[in-house]
Chains A and B, each alone.
Chain A
Amino acid sequence: MAINKNKTPMPSQSPGERVKNFNEVPLGYTQEQAVAEAKRCIQCKNAPCVDGCPVEIDIPAFIKMIAEGDFIGAAIKLKEKNCLPGVCGRVCPQEDQCEKVCTLARKFDPVAIGSLERFAADYEQGRGKIKIPEKTKANGKKIAVVGSGPSGLTIAGDLAKLGYKVTIFEALHKAGGVLVYGIPEFRLPKSIVQREVDYIEKLGVEIKPDYVIGKVHAVDELFEMGYDAVYVGIGAGLPMFMKIDGENLNGVYSANELLTRSNLMKAYDDSYDTPVIKAKKYAVVGGGNVAMDSARTALRLGAEKVYNVYRRSRKEMPARDEEIERAEEEGIDFRLLTNPVRIIDNGNGWVKALECIRMELGEPDESGRRRPVPVKSSEFTIDVDVVVMAIGAGANPLLTSATPDIKLNKWGYITVDEKTGMTSKKNVYAGGDIVTGSATVISAMGVARKIARVIHESFKYEK
C-alpha cells in the first residue's frame, strides 16, 4: 500500500469564527482520520521517533493500536510513560521532537504523532472510564513536591505508582502551573488539564493548593513534617520588563498578568469577577509562544487591532511556526525589526502610544542569531491603549531566597547535579524551568521522570 505523503489534516475553526471565542482552534481527529493517519506509520524496527521523545513513549506501539482500532489500549500505552498525553498531544513542539526524527520525514510529512496522542487521550476521556494502573505496595516513604506544573505532576505521578506517598504543594488555587495560568484555553482547554490532574490524584497523589512554600512552610520544615525528599518544580514565573519609560502606566501588562487574568481567573467570562482591561488597540512586545498567546488572547477579548512588536525578523522568532501562522491568519499585525523605546502617557496615567525604533540585523550574537541594532533616528509611534510585555521570564526568588542553602547560578536558577538532579541541599531535587530557564512542557516532564528514578534508587537500599 502506498503511503500518503501528507499528514491527515486536522479540522479546525476558521480564523473569522475563532477570534470571537475562546474555544479550542484545532478540533481533533475523528476515528476514521486517526486510523488513516496511524496507518501511515511504517512501524520502524529501530523507532527513531522514540529517541525524539523526552519521556520515551513507545510510539510505534501506541500508533499500531490506533491503526487496529484499539483506542483505549493506545491511551493506556501512552500513560505508561506520559501521565499528561492530552496536554502533550496539544502543546509539545512535535516538529522539534518526535516528528523531526520520524523516518517518514526524510521524504514526506512525518507521522502526526502529537495529533494521534491527543486523539487517544481524548477518546479514553470521552468514554468516561479511566483505568488506574496497579500501584506498588506503599513503601512508607513520603515525598513533597513543590509546584504543580508539568514537572511536578509528572514526578508525583511516577513516584505514586512506585508506592510513595506524595503531596504536591501549589501556590495558586488550581493545579497545573503554566498549563492553567499561562497557555490559553483556545490552545489547551482547562478541562483537559483538569482531567489529567484528576488522573494524578487518582494515582494517590495529594494536592494542596494555596500553599506557598518559603512562606507557609520552609523547605526544612517539610523534612520536619516527615517528608523524606523534596522536589522543587516551581517554574520560571518572574515576569520581565524592558525598564523603559512609562512601563508602570495603567495599561501596561506583563504577559503573565494578562494571561493569568484571562486563563486562570477567566476574566473573559462575564460570570467571573476578575477584571481585565478591554481596549481597542493592543501592542504585544516579544516573539515567542508567550507573545503569540498574549496577542491572540487580546483579539479574543475584543481588541480591534493587535500589533506584535519584535526586534528581530520573522526567521528569528522563537515561537512555533504553527502559532505564528495562526496569529497571522487571525489578523495580528506584525511589526518586525521594531523595538519599543518608551511608552507615552495620555496625561491621566494611562498608555496613549508606544514609541518604537526600527532595527536592522547585524553580526550574529552568542545565540547564533543576528544581533538587532537600532537604525539611527528612525523612531516612530504606534497609537495603542494597552502594551503587553512578553519578553521572557526569570527565576522567581520567593522560595530560593528563603532557602539559602540551595545554590543558584548567576541568573537565580537552581544549580543541580546533572546526573541526579539533586541540589546543593541534601535530598532536595529540582527540575523543569527553575533549573533550565523557560523551556518546554515535555522537557520539564522528561527531567522529572529521570529524577523519579533517581529518588527511587536512592531509597531502594535504605532501610
Chain B
Amino acid sequence: MYKILEKEDIAPGEKLYVLDAPDIARKAKPGQFVIIIIDEKGERIPLTIADFNREKGTITIIVQEVGKSTMQLGNIKKGEGILNVVGPLGIPTHIEKYGTVVCVGGGVGIACIYPIARGMKEAGNRVISILGARTKDFIFWEDKIKTVSDEFYITTDDGSSGKKGFVSDQLKDIIDNKEKIDLVMTIGPAIMMKVVSETTRPFNIKTVVSLNSIMVDGTGMCGSCRVEVDGKTKFACVDGPDFDAHKVNFNLLNDRQKVYLKEEKEAHKKCRLEERISGNK
C-alpha cells in the first residue's frame, strides 16, 4: 500500500496526490513516470512524476479524470492508499545547459513540465514557460512554475487568462521576436504537441516531446506503447518517453491512443452508473 498523504482539487476534474514512496522519490528525475494500480482489479495507469521530495520521501502526481480508473482514483481519500506504485520509469529528460529553453505545458501537461522547467533552470538555462488550457480554471501551479522561469506566459482558448489562443501562438510570437531558442520542451495532448512541433520545424529549433502512448508494464516487455520515431518503431516506456518531436509520427500516436475507445466507453458508462447508484456524484 502506498499512502496518499495529501490530496487537492487543482482544477475541474484534475486532482493532485502526494504519495508516500521513499524509494521512488530517492531516484526520481524530471521526465520520469510511475505506474499505479489502484486495487486488486485495477489496471496499470502511467502517470508523470510531477514533483518529488527526497527528504520527505514523497512523490506528487496530478491526474486528469478521463475514464473509469482515473475517476475511481478520484474517489480515494487522503489517508487511504493505492495498492501498487512502480517507478521511476522511463529515461529522464536530458538536462544540460542549452542556453534558452522554452517549456510548453498544456492541460494536465502543466504538471509534467514543472520538474523539467525546474531542472533546466537549475542547470543554468534561461527558462521561458508557456502554459496553456481551455480556460483559466484549468491553469494551476502558476506560482510554482513562475519561480523557476525567467519569462512566463499563459494562453487560454477563450482568453479568460493570459493571451487568447494556443500555446503555439505564444511560441510563434517569441520566435518572431528573434529570441534565440536552443530547445523547446513540450508536454500535453497529442494534438498540441504536434502543433508545437510544426511551429518550430521551419526554424530548425530542437524540440522534444514526451509521448503518452498506451502502456501496460512500462518495462519494455509488452510493446503496447509502440511509437514511430524517424520511421523506426520505439517503445515509449523504455526508449522514451522523450523523443525528437520533428521525427515523431503523431498520426500514429493519435490512432493508437484510441485502441480501446469502445471498451473504455463501456467502462466509463458502468462507472458513472455505479457512482450515481452509490450517490457519489
Which residues of A are at the interface with B, using a C-beta cutoff of 8 A? Answer: 171-173, 181, 209-212, 215-217, 237-239, 241, 243, 247-251, 253-254, 256-257, 260-261, 265-266, 271-278, 348-349, 396-398
Judging by beta carbons under 8 Å apart, are A272 and B41 in contact?
A: yes
The verdict on B86 contacting chain A, using a C-beta distance below 8 Å, is: yes
Q: How far is the CA of A274 from the CA of B267 in the complex (A)?
A: 10
Q: How far is the CA of A291 from the CA of B44 in the complex (A)?
A: 25
Judging by beta carbons under 8 Å apart, are B88 and A275 in contact?
A: no
Judging by beta carbons under 8 Å apart, are B216 and A260 in contact?
A: yes
Q: Which of A243, A275, A396 contacts B221 (CB 8 A)?
A: A396
Q: How far is the CA of A238 from the CA of B220 in the complex (A)?
A: 6
Q: How far is the CA of A241 from the CA of B263 in the complex (A)?
A: 25
CB distance from B259 to the nearest CB of A (A): 5
Interface of B, secondary structure class, is mixed
The verdict on B24 contacting chain A, using a C-beta distance below 8 Å, is: yes
Instruction: Provide the residues of chain A in CB contact with B41, threshold 8 Å.
Output: 266, 271-273
Minimum CB distance partner of A235 in chain B: B221
Closest 4 CB pairs of A and B: A349-B255, A275-B263, A210-B86, A257-B222
Instruction: Provide the residues of chain B in CB contact with A249, threshold 8 Å.
Output: 255
Instruction: Provide the residues of chain B in CB contact with A217, threshold 8 Å.
Output: 23, 27
Instruction: Provide the residues of chain B in CB contact with A398, threshold 8 Å.
Output: 219-220, 238
Instruction: Provide the residues of chain A in CB contact with B267, threshold 8 Å.
Output: 273, 275
Q: How far is the CA of A241 from the CA of B223 in the complex (A)?
A: 9
Known: A212-B86, A256-B222. A171 touches B233 (CB 8 A): no
CB distance from B89 to the nearest CB of A (A): 6
CB distance from A259 to the nearest CB of B (A): 9
Instruction: Provide the residues of chain A in CB contact with B263, threshold 8 Å.
Output: 275-278
Minimum CB distance partner of B218 in chain A: A212
Give the residue among B43, B87, B222 with the most A Cβ atoms within 10 A.
Answer: B222
Minimum CB distance partner of A349 in chain B: B255
Judging by beta carbons under 8 Å apart, are A238 and B260 in contact?
A: no
Instruction: Provide the residues of chain A in CB contact with B220, threshold 8 Å.
Output: 237-238, 396-398
CB distance from B67 to the nearest CB of A (A): 9
Instruction: Provide the residues of chain B in CB contact with A209, threshold 8 Å.
Output: 84
CB distance from B151 to the nearest CB of A (A): 34
Interface flags for B54-89 (1: CB within 8 Å of A; 0: not) read 000000000000001100000000000001111111
The verdict on B169 contacting chain A, using a C-beta distance below 8 Å, is: no
Instruction: Provide the residues of chain A in CB contact with B224, threshold 8 Å.
Output: 257
Instruction: Provide the residues of chain A in CB contact with B216, threshold 8 Å.
Output: 257, 260-261, 265, 274
Minimum CB distance partner of B67 in chain A: A273
Minimum CB distance partner of B271 in chain A: A273
Q: How far is the CA of A233 from the CA of B84 in the complex (A)?
A: 22
Known: A248-B256, A398-B219. A274 touches B44 (CB 8 A): yes
Instruction: Provide the residues of chain A in CB contact with B118, threshold 8 Å.
Output: none
Q: How far is the CA of A211 from the CA of B87 in the complex (A)?
A: 7
Interface residues of B in 212-246 (CB under 8 A from A): 216-217, 219-224, 226, 228, 233, 238
Q: How far is the CA of A241 from the CA of B217 in the complex (A)?
A: 18
Instruction: Provide the residues of chain A in CB contact with B238, threshold 8 Å.
Output: 397-398
Minimum CB distance partner of B23 in chain A: A216
Interface flags for B32-45 (1: CB within 8 Å of A; 0: not) read 00000100011110
Q: How far is the CA of A275 from the CA of B68 in the complex (A)?
A: 11
The verdict on B258 contacting chain A, using a C-beta distance below 8 Å, is: yes
Judging by beta carbons under 8 Å apart, are A274 and B222 in contact?
A: no
Minimum CB distance partner of A257 in chain B: B222
Judging by beta carbons under 8 Å apart, are A171 and B217 in contact?
A: yes
Minimum CB distance partner of A249 in chain B: B255
CB distance from A341 to the nearest CB of B (A): 17
Q: How far is the CA of A67 from the CA of B233 in the complex (A)?
A: 57
The verdict on B264 contacting chain A, using a C-beta distance below 8 Å, is: yes
